[in-house]
Structure 1
C-alpha cells in the first residue's frame, strides 16, 4: 500500500474524499393523565424472593430533593409492577458508563465532537425543544428562577440545576462521588431464574448502572469530573458559568486561517466540569400523545412517556454539535430528519443508514417468530466439566451464576417459543432481552472494553492494518470484562417488564381528543370512538370509516395485520378494534414479516446495512435464520446474508407518528424555528428537474406535539403517501464544501504554507450525502493499488477495460493528489458500478400501494386508519 499512501496524503489519510462519486445521481427525477380504554392491567408477578442488598455497596449521600419521586409517581399512575418500575427507572437514567465514551472516546477515537454546552446551556432552556427536539426535565430549573436552589449559572457551570445537584456539584474537580444508582432498590428476585438459587441475590452492583443526575434534558445525564481544573477553566472561558471559550473557534485566538475549523473542544488537556452520558431514554422518551404539554418547553411529568419514541429529536446534530459544517463527518452523518437516527453511524458499515426511532406500542401483542436458529448465551446454574470459556463461563465470586452458549431453535423469554424482530430489517432477532442490551452499546456503553476495536477506522486503507474492516463483537468477552454490561444484563427482565407494561399501551385518537376536552371542561361529554367516526365522516365523506375498513382489508391487511386469515378468518370480516384477553388491541396491525425492499420500493439503503452479517460487528445479535434469507435478485447492490429487506411495521396509532417510512421522508419536512438561528437545522431537500435543490420548497411543518398538531401532520403525510405521483423528489445534498487537509502546514507568523499543492482538497457542496456515506472507499484504494502493482489480479475480477480505466485514474491521482476530487467526478459510473453499497438517492420514493385507489377510497382509508 506504500505507493498510494505516500504519494497522496488525501488518498491515504482518508479517501472519503472519493465520496464525490457523483455530482448528482442519474436516477434523480423531476392536564391529568386519562387512562386509555384499553389500559392493560399489570401482568401477574411470578413468585418472588426478597431482594438482598450487597453489604459492600456504597451508600449515596442524601440529597435535598428526591430524584426518584416523579418516577415512582409515574409508576403508580400507570399501575406498573415493581419490576417494570425498576426497569423504567433504568431506561430513563442508566448510562451504563457511557459518560466516558461521550466525553473522551467519541472525540479521540471516532473524531466527532459534541458541544454539550451549546446543546444543554441553561440560558437557552426554552429553546431546546425547538432547536434540538429535547424534552426538558420537569424537575430541573434554570439558575436564578424563582424557587430554583441555584441562584446563578456560575454555581451549575452554565447548566440547569437538577435534583441531586446539591451533592454532585460538591464533587466537580474532586474524587469521591458515589453514584445515585448505588441506592437503587432492586425488584424482588424471580424464583424461576436459574441465577436465583437458594434465594441468593447475585446481581451485579447497581452502582455500575451509572445514573448521575439530569442535565436538564431527559435522557442526558451528567457526572462530576474529578479531573476538572477550575483555574484552567477560568483562563479558557472567563468564568465557571459559561463554556463559551471551550467551543470558540481557535482562529480567534491564533489568527491562523485553518484554525477556523478547530475549537478547544478538541484540546484533550482542557477537562470540562461534567462528563455527559446518555440513557436509552434519550431517544425514546417523548411527549405523551394522550396528554401533550401546553408548552413543549415546559412539560410536566404527566406529559412524559418513556417508550413512544421522540419523533422530534435531532440526535445526529446533537452528537456533531461541535463539528464545523465543512467537516467530512458532519456532511456524512448530520443530516437525518427529526426523529431519525443512524444507529450505524459509529459502527459504520459504509451504508447511509438512518432509521426512525422505534415506537414501542402494545409490545405484549407484537408478533414473535418461532423456530429460528439462534446462537446465544443462556443462563445456567453450572458449567459442569466444561472448561472452555467460549462455551460456558461462571462469574467469579458468584456461585451458580453461569452462562452457556448454544445454538437452538427456540427462545422462551416471552413465555412461548419465539423472538421479536426488532429493527427495520428484522435484525436483533436473538431475543428480546438481548435486543434491549444491544441498545446500550449503540449509545456508548462498554466501548473500550468490548466493541470499539471491532469497528472500521475510516482512515485506515491498508487491508493489513488494524481497523481496515469490522470484526465481530464478542458477547461472552464483554460480559467478562465490562462491569456495566453485567449491571444491565442482570436487570434486563425488569426492562422487558417495563416494555410489556401499560406505558407501551396504544393511544387512540378518540381517547386523546377526549382527554383534551376533559382538560378544558371536566363536565364535557365523553368523546367516544363513535363520536370520532362521526367527525371523520363529516370531514372525509359519509360512511368513510366503514368504507375505509373494507379498503384496508382488501389492500393493506395482508402486510399490516398480525393475525393472518388462516387463523383469524377473512380480513373483510375482521373487527380490527377487538381486544385481547390482556385488554390490548388483539391485532398489532403489522405482521413484522420481512419483505424485499425492492417490493416495498422505498429508499433501499437502510435495508442494505451489514452490521449483523457474519464477520461484522453485531454478528452475535443476528440469528442464523436471518442470515440465511435469500438475496433479492432485484437489488443490484450487495445484499447477501439477510440484507435487502424491510419488515412490515405496525399501523397502531398512525395518527401520532407522521411523517412516514423508515426515514420520515414521506410527508412534510419538520422544522423547529428556534429563537437561536445558529441552531436551526432545517434543510431543504426537494429537488428540481436537474437534481439540484429546488429554489422553491414546500412549507415545512413546525414541530407541534399537540393532538391536533399530530393529526394535521398525519393528514398531510397520508396524502403524500397515497398520491406518489404528486410527490416532489427529495434527497439530502451536502450543503457546504467538505474541506480536507493534505498534511501539515507551516505558519511563518503571517501566512500558512502547505507542504502539498494547495494544502487542501475541497469536495464541492451539492453532492448526495448518500454517495459519501455509501461508497466503499477502501475497496477503491486497494484496487487503485492493484491497478499499479498487480493489474492481472484486478483484471481477473473487473475485466481489462475497467482495469485500464483504474490504471489511468491511479496515474492521475499520483500526479495531482490535490485534484483527485475533480478526477473522480469524471468516473461517476465506474464508482457506481463497482464501489457503492447503495446507489438509491431519492428518499421519498416507493410504497406506491394504494396509488390506484379512487379519491373516495383514499379519503376513506385515511379516515379509517385514524381510528386505529
Structure 2
C-alpha cells in the first residue's frame, strides 16, 4: 500500500476486507452447488406433463384472426422478395377436368388383369376426376414454401438436387420415390438446363387426353420477365405432359413434385438480375456439377436463388406401387402399376428431407429414425417430439363416414364451424359428426377440414405459416393457423376450399357404375393370381379366424357395431361389469391394459360378444356381408395406456388449444382427460422390466394428447410393417406380392406372438441390439432407434444467424453479439476516465464469482478441472489491484484493455453469427445415442431442468471429444453426463418403437394361426 495517503487507508481497507470476505464466501459456497444442481433422478419426468406454451395475444381477435397477416402471393401480386407477379383470384385456378390418369388406381377385372376405374358422364363423376387430378398434381401454391426450404431451410434439403435426373433409375431403391411414366433420364452435360439435370420428355410424356404438344401454344406469363431469351429457352427445354403450367407447373420426373419458374430468378427486377448473375457464377460457369455435391457448400448458400420452385401435391407421399398390379421394375412403373391411395409405403424421410446431409449429421439420423413409409407430420411446425406415423392408406372412405355418422358427435367452436363439412346434412351443425383423422384422432372437424389442413401442413399459404412458429427448429410458442385469416388473405386457400376439397371428397367416395365401389375399395389378396390359391388353401382356417376376430378384435376393429354402441374408458369400479341382455352396448372399458384380460371375462363383455356375433352372422357363399363395406376400425380414440404402443405420436400437442392446428380440432378433443400414467421402458433406470417390458412411467397432460384411434385392417396383407410407426416387422422394400406377404408374415407373427419381437434375428436400421461392433443396446427391451454412427449437429455458415434469431429473437441476438459488448466497452471507458483502481478489482472479483458459478452449475470443471485457473486468476488479479497495484494509472490501463477486449469480443461474436468464422458444428454425439433423447427436449421445461439438460449434453459431448472416445466407451461417457438430465427435460421419454398391442396374448396358438389366415383375406 506504499504511496497511498494515510487519510485513504481507513476508508479503503475495510471495503477491501469486506469485498475479500464476501468474495471468498461466495467462492466457498459455490463448492456446494453440485448438490443444488442435481435436480433429481430418472423416475421424475416433469417436462412430459406440461401444457405447451401460448403466444401472447393468440386469441385477441375473433376466431384467432391474425390482423397483421400478409396476403398470399396470388392475392398481393408480389413475392415475399418483392417481385411483381400476376394477381389472381380463386376462380382462376380451374381443376384439370380430363381423365388424364386413366390407368391409375386400376381395379381387377374378371380375369384379374387391371381395368381402369370407370366413370360415367354425371357431374359427380366429373368432379371425382377433378379430385383425382387435384390429389396427384395440385400443390395449392406451396411451391413458395418449398422454395423457401431450398434457399433458407438451414441447408437440410434441396428438391432440385433430389430431382437429379442422372439418378432417375435408382430413385425407388434409394428413397422409395415414384418416377412419373413418360419421362426419361437426362444425364448429358450438354443438355443441362441452367446447369441442372432435369428429366426429359419421353415418347409418352403427354398424359392421356391432352393431345400432342403444340409449341405455338402461348403459355400464360405469370410475371414480368427480365431476360426473355433465357426465359423462352428454358421453357422450350422443359418436359410438357399436357397440364396447364400456370396452375400445375411442369413435370419434374418424380410424381407429386412439379416445377414452376421462379419469379425471383426470371423476373424483371434488379434483385432477379443479380440472382441470375449469382447462379451463373456459382452453378453454371464452373461447369463442375458442384451444386449436386453437398460438401462443396454451393447448394447450402442462402444467397443462391433457384431458377425453379418445386410444388408438392398429396400424391408425393401417397402414390406407391399398386399392391394388386406391382411393376416388374419399381423404377419404371406404368400408370396401371400405381395406386394413389395405398400410401407411400417405401418413401424414405431421411434421403428425401435431408438430402444435403450425410449419415454423420444428427439431423439425418433424426430423419432416419422415422421408418420408411412414415413421416413426422409435425416435422415443419414441430411440437418437439419425434413422433413419426404411417403415411396412411385411404381405404373405404364411404364406410368410414358411415361409422362417423353413428359415433358420438363432437362439440365445435366458432373457428371450427368456419370449415364446411360433409358428414351432417346441414352446414353449421353443432355438435358435428366426424371421423377421427390422424392417428391420434386430433383432426376432428370433419373430412373436409382434415383434407384442408393437409395442404396447410405441406406448405400452402406459407407467407402466414412461417410467422406462426419457428419453422423446422421450434423452441418458440406457436399460434393457430386460423381459418379466418386464410379466408381473408389467401387466394389459394379459397380456391381449394371452394373447389378442390369438394372434388377430393367426390374422388374418394364416387362409386364405380359397374361395381358400386369407390376408388378406396379394399385391395384383396384373393384378387391376385398369386393370392387366390393361398386364400383357397387357408379357407377353413380363415373361417375359424373370423370367429376369433368377431369375439376378440371387432370391438376396436369393426365399423359395424350393434345399435347403441359406445365406448368410454375408466379405472376401478367404473369399468363395466354387467350389461342387460339386449341393452345398447355402451361400455366403459379399462383404461390400462393390465386390466384387459379381466374385462374379457365380465358378463358385460360377454353380452357385447353375443350382440356383435349376431350382427356378424355367418358369411354367405357369395361374400361376407359383415366384412363388405366395413372400415374395420371403430373410429373411437383409445387411451395409449390400453393400447400400450409407443406413446410419442399420442403425445403430440399441435392440435391443442392455442397451438398450430387449434382450428382443426374439436372442443371435445381439447377437453379430453389425461390418460394418467403411461408405462414405458427407461434404458437408464437399471430397474427390472415387467411382463410387458416396461420399468418406468410418466404422467400424460390433459386436454387432447394420450390417445390413438384404431388402424383399419383393410388390406392388412399389403401394408406391413405394422403399428402406427411401421416399426414392427420385417421391412423388405419389395412391392411385389411375394415381398408384401413376406413382410406380412413377419409383422403379423410379431403382433400375435410378442415373444418373437425379441427373438427375431432381423433388425431394422438403428436397432443396435446384438450388434457385434457395439453393445450399448443389448439391454433394450425393444427397438430403440440409436444413432448408427457418431454424428454432429451441423449448420452451414449462412444459417447460423437465422437459427439463433429464430429461437431467441433478433433483439436478444443483437444484444448478445453487439449491444452488450459495446455497452460494456462504454462503461469501461467511463471507468478508465473517472474510476478508481479498486473498481477494476471489483470487476475481476465479479468475473471470478461468475466464472466459478458457471463452472459449478454447469459441471464443466469435472471435464476440464484446469478451468478453475480462470476464476483463480481473476481472484489473484482482483487482490493485486486491491492491495499491490492501487495506482490509478494501473486502473486506467486495465479498463482500457477491458474496453478493447469487449469490442474485440463483439467483433468475434458478430463474425460467428454472420457465418464468417465457418460452420456451426456441435458434437460428436456418439454412436448408440437414442435419437429421441435429444429430439424430445421440451422447451417448456423449467429453467433448472432445461439448463441441467443443456449442461449435461455439453458435458457429454466434451467428454467424448476430449478423450477421442469411440464405440461403447464414447456412449458410456456421454450417458453418464447427459442421459438423466435429458430424460427429465423430455416431452416424451418413451423410446421403444415396437412395443405394445398385446391383445392377442389371451389367444391360444391355434386361434392366432386361424386369425392370421382370416386377416390375410381382408
Residue number in structure 2 paired with 1:308 = 342
Matched, 1:828 2:828: no
Deviations, residues 415-450 of structure 1 (Å, cap 9, x unaligned): 99611111101011111111001111111111122x
Q: SS state of the match for residue 826, structure 1?
A: helix
Deviations, residues 89-145 of structure 1 (Å, cap 9, x unaligned): 11100111111211224652x525213344222222111111110111112222489
TM-score by length of 1: 0.67
Residue number in structure 2 paired with 1:495 = 504
Q: Residues 647, 172 of structure 1: CA spacing in aligned structure 2 closer, same or farther, 3 A cutoff?
A: farther
Matched, 1:666 2:728: yes
Q: Residues 741, 92 of structure 1: CA spacing in aligned structure 2 closer, same or farther, 3 A cutoff?
A: closer
Matched, 1:724 2:754: yes
Deviations, residues 619-649 of structure 1 (Å, cap 9, x unaligned): 1111001122111112224331121111111
Deviation for aligned residue 1:230: 6.6
Residue number in structure 1 paired with 2:545 = 548
TM-score by length of 2: 0.58
Deviation for aligned residue 1:616: 0.9
Q: What are the ranges of 5 or more consecutive residues in structure 1 without an aligned counterpart?
A: 1-20, 26-53, 61-65, 186-205, 253-262, 380-402, 462-467, 518-526, 538-542, 671-700, 748-752, 786-804
Deviations, residues 720-750 of structure 1 (Å, cap 9, x unaligned): 1111122132111123334357999989xxx
Deviation for aligned residue 1:305: 1.8
Distance 1:180 1:86 in 2: 22
1:102 is matched with which residue: 122, 132, 146?
146
CA RMSD, 1 decimal: 4.7
Distance 1:435 1:417 in 2: 14
Q: SS state of the match for residue 565, structure 1?
A: coil
Residue number in structure 2 paired with 1:439 = 454
Q: Residues 642, 846 of structure 1: CA spacing in aligned structure 2 closer, same or farther, 3 A cutoff?
A: same
Residue number in structure 2 paired with 1:792 = none
Residue number in structure 1 paired with 2:738 = 708
Q: Residues 508, 247 of structure 1: CA spacing in aligned structure 2 closer, same or farther, 3 A cutoff?
A: same
1:422 is matched with which residue: 408, 415, 437?
437
Distance 1:761 1:592 in 2: 44
Matched, 1:535 2:518: no
Deviation for aligned residue 1:217: 1.1
Residue number in structure 2 paired with 1:42 = none
Deviations, residues 554-594 of structure 1 (Å, cap 9, x unaligned): 21111111112346973334158689999992321111211
Matched, 1:221 2:258: yes
Matched, 1:272 2:302: no
Deviation for aligned residue 1:783: 5.3
Q: What are the ranges of 5 or more consecutive residues in structure 2 without an aligned counterpart?
A: 1-40, 46-87, 106-114, 120-124, 207-212, 222-226, 267-274, 511-517, 566-609, 679-697, 759-781, 801-906, 910-914, 963-970
Distance 2:954 2:993 in 1: 36
Matched, 1:92 2:254: no
Matched, 1:644 2:706: yes
Is contact 1:112–1:329 with CA below 8 Å preserved after alignment?
Answer: no
1:605 is matched with which residue: 648, 652, 665?
648
Higher RCO (C-alpha 8 Å, min separation 6): 1
Distance 1:810 1:266 in 2: 27
Deviation for aligned residue 1:235: 4.3
Deviation for aligned residue 1:452: 1.7
Q: Residues 328, 810 of structure 1: CA spacing in aligned structure 2 closer, same or farther, 3 A cutoff?
A: closer
Matched, 1:244 2:289: yes
Is contact 2:90–2:494 with CA below 8 Å preserved after alignment?
Answer: no
Residue number in structure 2 paired with 1:837 = 987
Distance 1:471 1:415 in 2: 25
Distance 1:57 1:173 in 2: 31
Residue number in structure 1 paired with 2:604 = none
Residue number in structure 2 paired with 1:158 = 197
Distance 1:413 1:92 in 2: 30
Matches for 1:70-469 after TM superposition, within 5 Å: 70-72=100-102, 74=104, 77-80=116-119, 81-105=125-149, 107-108=151-152, 110-143=153-186, 152-153=191-192, 157-162=196-201, 163=205, 174=231, 210-226=247-263, 227=265, 232-233=278-279, 235-237=281-283, 244-249=289-294, 263-366=297-400, 367-368=403-404, 369-376=407-414, 418-449=433-464, 451-456=465-470, 468-469=476-477
Q: Residues 57, 663 of structure 1: CA spacing in aligned structure 2 closer, same or farther, 3 A cutoff?
A: closer
Is contact 1:96–1:484 with CA below 8 Å preserved after alignment?
Answer: yes
Range moving further from structure 2, 351-360 or 497-506: 497-506
Distance 2:376 2:719 in 1: 18
Is contact 2:416–2:664 with CA below 8 Å preserved after alignment?
Answer: no
Distance 1:439 1:307 in 2: 15
Residue number in structure 2 paired with 1:735 = 788
Is contact 1:59–1:183 with CA below 8 Å preserved after alignment?
Answer: no
Deviation for aligned residue 1:771: 1.3
Range moving further from structure 2, 576-585 or 723-732: 576-585
Q: Residues 277, 809 of structure 1: CA spacing in aligned structure 2 closer, same or farther, 3 A cutoff?
A: closer
Distance 2:951 2:143 in 1: 48
Residue number in structure 1 paired with 2:585 = none
Deviation for aligned residue 1:356: 0.1
Residue number in structure 2 paired with 1:854 = 1004
Residue number in structure 2 paired with 1:540 = none
Q: SS state of the match for residue 519, structure 2?
A: helix
Deviation for aligned residue 1:459: 6.5
Q: SS state of the match for residue 545, structure 2?
A: helix
Distance 2:419 2:343 in 1: 34
Deviation for aligned residue 1:846: 0.8
Deviation for aligned residue 1:238: 5.3
- Greater Rg by CA: 2
Distance 1:811 1:217 in 2: 41
Residue number in structure 1 paired with 2:827 = none
Deviation for aligned residue 1:755: 8.9
Distance 2:790 2:451 in 1: 39
Is contact 1:365–1:584 with CA below 8 Å preserved after alignment?
Answer: no
Deviations, residues 287-345 of structure 1 (Å, cap 9, x unaligned): 22222212211111112221111101113430111124444432333421110000101
Deviations, residues 378-431 of structure 1 (Å, cap 9, x unaligned): 89xxxxxxxxxxxxxxxxxxxxxxx6999x999769999611111101011111
Distance 2:541 2:496 in 1: 49
Is contact 1:350–1:774 with CA below 8 Å preserved after alignment?
Answer: yes
Deviation for aligned residue 1:838: 1.1
Distance 1:286 1:577 in 2: 32
Query: Number of paired residues?
Result: 665
Matches for 1:458-607 after TM superposition, within 5 Å: 468-491=476-499, 492-501=501-510, 502-513=518-529, 527=532, 532-536=534-538, 543-566=540-563, 570-573=611-614, 574-575=616-617, 585-607=628-650
Deviation for aligned residue 1:500: 1.4
Q: Which has the higher helix share?
A: 2
Distance 1:443 1:646 in 2: 23
Distance 1:498 1:413 in 2: 24
Residue number in structure 2 paired with 1:17 = none
Q: Residues 151, 863 of structure 1: CA spacing in aligned structure 2 closer, same or farther, 3 A cutoff?
A: farther
